[in-house]
Amino acid sequence: MIAIFDSGYGGLTVFKPIIHLLPQYDYLYLGDSARTPYGAHSPENIKHFSEEAVEYLFSHGAKLIIFACNTASSVALCHVQQKYLKEKNEKERKILGVLIPVAEEVSKITKSNRVGVIGTSATINSNVYETEIHKINPNIKVHQKACPLLVPLIEEDWHKKPEAISILKKYLKPIKSTNIDTLILGCTHYPLMIKDIKRIMGKKITVVPSGEITAKSLENYLSRHSEIEQKLSKNRKRKFFTTDNPEKFKIFTEKHFGMKIPLPQKVELKG
Cα distances (Å, whole numbers) of residue 124 to 120, 145, 187: 6, 7, 10
Given 28, 30, 54, 69, the catalytic residue: 69
Which CA distances in Å does 100 have to 3, 77, 103, 198, 214? 18, 11, 5, 23, 9
Cα–Cα distance, 183 to 114 (Å, whole number) = 9
Q: What are the Cα distances from residue 67, in Å, to 137, 142, 147, 200? A: 24, 23, 20, 29
* CB within 8 Å of 142: residues ≥ 6 apart: 115, 116, 117, 129, 130, 133, 134
Query: For residues 40 and 222, which CB has a smaller minimum distance to a second copy in the complex?
Result: 40
Q: Is 152 in the site for a second copy (CB under 8 A)?
A: yes
Least distance from C-beta 189 to a second copy, angstroms? Answer: 13
Nearer to a second copy, 78 or 149 (CB): 149
In the bound state with a second copy, the residue whose beta carbon lies nearer, of 170 and 173, is: 170
229 binds a second copy, rule: CB under 8 A: no
Interface with a second copy, residue 255, by CB under 8 A: no
Instruction: Identify any residues that bridge with 30 across adjacent strands, giving them in sequence order.
Output: 5, 241
Task: Check residue 232 for interaction with a second copy (CB under 8 A).
Answer: no
Catalytic residue among 187, 193, 197, 207: 187
User: Backbone dihedral region of 261: left (phi > 0), alpha (psi from -120 to 50 degrees) or beta?
Assistant: beta
What is the closest distance, in whole angstroms, from the C-beta atom of residue 48 to a second copy in the complex? 8
Contacting a second copy (CB under 8 A), which of 132, 243, 250, 253? 243
Q: Is 6 in the site for a second copy (CB under 8 A)?
A: no
* Of residues 93-132, those binding a second copy (CB under 8 A): none
Q: Please pick, from the candidates 26, 155, 240, 241, the single residue that binds a second copy as defined by CB under 8 A.
A: 155
Figure out which of the listed residues 65, 106, 153, 192 binds a second copy, where binding follows CB under 8 A.
153
Enumerate residues 40-59 that contact a second copy by CB under 8 A.
Answer: 40-42, 44-45
Binders of a second copy among 167-186, rule CB under 8 A?
Answer: 167, 170
Based on the shown chain and the rule CB under 8 A, indicate whether residue 270 belongs to the binding site for a second copy. yes
The CA–CA distances, whole Å, from 174 to 12, 194, 255, 257 equal: 29, 18, 32, 31
Maximum C-alpha span of the chain: 52
Q: Is 69 a catalytic residue?
A: yes
The number of angstroms, rounded, from the C-alpha of 137 to the middle of its chain's C-alpha atoms is 23
